[in-house]
Amino acid sequence: MVRQKGKSTTTTKDSGNLASVPTTMFRPPIVTVMGHVDHGKTTLLDVIRKTQVAKQETGGITQGIGAYQVEHKGKKITFIDTPGHAAFAKMRSRGAQVTDIVVLVVAATEGVKPQTVESINHIRAADVPIIVAINKMDLPEADPVRVKSELVKYEVMVEEFGGKVPVVEVSAKTGKNIEQLLDMIQLVAELTGVSGEASGELEAVVIESQLDSKRGPTATVIVRQGTLRLGETIYVDETPARVRLMVTDRGEGVREALPSMPVLVLGFGTVPSVGGVIGSKSQPARSYQPKKQLPELKMEGEVDIEAMLAGEEPAKRPSIEVILKADVEGMLEAIRSNLSDEVIIVQAGVGPVTESDVMLAADAGARIIAFNVPIPAAIEKLANNEKVAIFRYQLIYELLEDVEKQILKLLEPTIDEEELGRAEIVAEFTIKNERVAGCKVLNGELGKTDLIHWQRGDKILGEVKIRSMKRGREEIIRAKSGTECGVVLSPRVDFKVGDRLVAYKKISV
């Protein structure tokens, strides 16, 4: 074993050549670039790629695999080709924290925009270091001071205003300060202690996957720990695969992939899921423990800048995290203004529930409140798969009452529950535009006026009321064990066959 500058190394043999591979080493940082549309994310990545990678290639990149490495001052940096917010969150929600640093791109001519705020929400949920790249500094209307001031409103405390977030003013068009941006990435990586073990247990993450018509299932993976080797058997969660080929972003075949190295891998039996964790042995898929107490960020929001600069933090209180969607801005603000302080709005916006909303909710451990907005079938399916509860409302008082019930449950630790009955939803059908849950009472009784938990598996998704309860055409107020009934729930939650309704009452302890 050779020791050099405090790092342990071992000598390994690969294809007849001896190579010194560090066991614990400073691995290249893995960087994701995020920001608002048209603020220059793609152009910035392109200029980094062309100036760094194409130096050694004719005709530029020969193999687009969704990630690539550049070399800057003798050290490498791994970039993930700008993933959508949904993909970024999906990796994390499955336990695959692949990103070490996020570069937030903000146009100097436009400042903070809705997708900038959305990016900040995702970055804060990920709890990773952030570097701000103020782009388009070549334009005469560029106003970097305005951008920095706006970022402070959204709790991105830049160094110039007494915070710790570094800012680099760049121009992806002219190449201005691109070298300085790469310097800053390496500095932040060193300060945060990015490291990995080449000899440790294998851990890699799927960042892209597809079914190639000629090569079959392929996946771009980035190694986090250990070494991925040609010919070895690996497991994506619990599914085995054999590594038949590994290709770099330059189109070169390799026998080993070390920590932070992205490679295209062939040999999977089926297309692995984005965010899948690869190991050398079978293991159940890990679940990410979401970061709690996320302060609200909104486009029109204000924060107490003086208190933040003074280092003051709000006292921790019981809270619930929500993503709020409404049909119009006026209704959105009306709902906001009536929610209690215990409700943490992770994100809010106008329009239908999107994939990005669902993945952010999964990542932050939040529920989605949808007021009078459509929820596409594909989004409902995704929410079900990601175990995200979506609550639909058409009356604001029902929304507020339901949220208050959840808060009350958090704030009343001396109140316990006594279960009165339990019913399983065995069918669903529509009568006069009302969605009806066909239920079979498993034990006890289900009453129309009872408090009801809506439950899926062992998880309580929320509280509901029984607005209507019938057996055949007869309106009833109670159903006993072994009987069936049809109920209309309020609010209109996205229940599934197999969900359960648990009737209970509160008792003092």
- Please determine, for residue 229, whether its predicted confidence score (pLDDT) is greater than 50: yes
| Inter-residue contact 267 to 245 (CB < 8 Å) | yes
- Please determine, for residue 153, whether its predicted confidence score (pLDDT) is greater than 90: no
| Inter-residue contact 216 to 272 (CB < 8 Å) | no
| Inter-residue contact 351 to 376 (CB < 8 Å) | no
Would you identify the CATH topology of the domain 203-279?
Elongation Factor Tu (Ef-tu); domain 3 (2.40.30)
Q: 491 preceded by cis ω (within 30°)?
A: yes
Report pLDDT digits (tens) over 21-75: 444 567 899 998 888 878 888 889 888 887 554 444 433 333 456 788 999 999 9
Same fold, 24-195 and 203-279: no
**What percent of the chain clears pLDDT 90, i.e. is strictly above it?**
37
How confident is residue 249, by pLDDT bands cut at 50, 70 and 90?
Answer: confident
Helices then strands, each counted (H, E), the chain: 10, 33
Report pLDDT digits (tens) over 91-104: 655 545 788 999 99
Looking at residue 395, what DSSP letter applies? Answer: S
Give the tokens for residue 417: 């529950």
At residue 88, the pLDDT reads 66
At residue 341, the pLDDT reads 81
Give rounded-to-5 percent helix, strand, coil for the chain: 25, 40, 40
Report pLDDT digits (tens) over 452-482: 999 988 788 888 999 999 998 899 999 999 9
Q: Which CATH number fits domain 415-508: 3.40.630.10, 3.30.2350.10, 2.40.30.10, 3.40.720.10?
A: 2.40.30.10
Q: Do β-strands 434-447 and 484-490 pair in parallel, antiparallel, or remain unpaired? A: antiparallel
Specify whether domain 24-195 bears CATH 3.10.180.10: no
Domain spans of the chain, in order of start: 24-195, 203-279, 316-408, 415-508
At residue 80, the pLDDT reads 86
Q: Reduced to 3 states, what is the DSSP secondary structure of residue 153?
A: helix
Report pLDDT digits (tens) over 297-344: 545 444 443 444 444 444 445 678 899 998 877 778 778 878 888 888
How confident is residue 166, by pLDDT bands cut at 50, 70 and 90?
Answer: very high
Total number of residues shown for the chain: 509
**What percent of the chain clears pLDDT 70, i.e. is strictly above it?**
80
How confident is residue 208, by pLDDT bands cut at 50, 70 and 90?
Answer: confident
Architecture of domain 316-408: 3-Layer(aba) Sandwich (3.40)
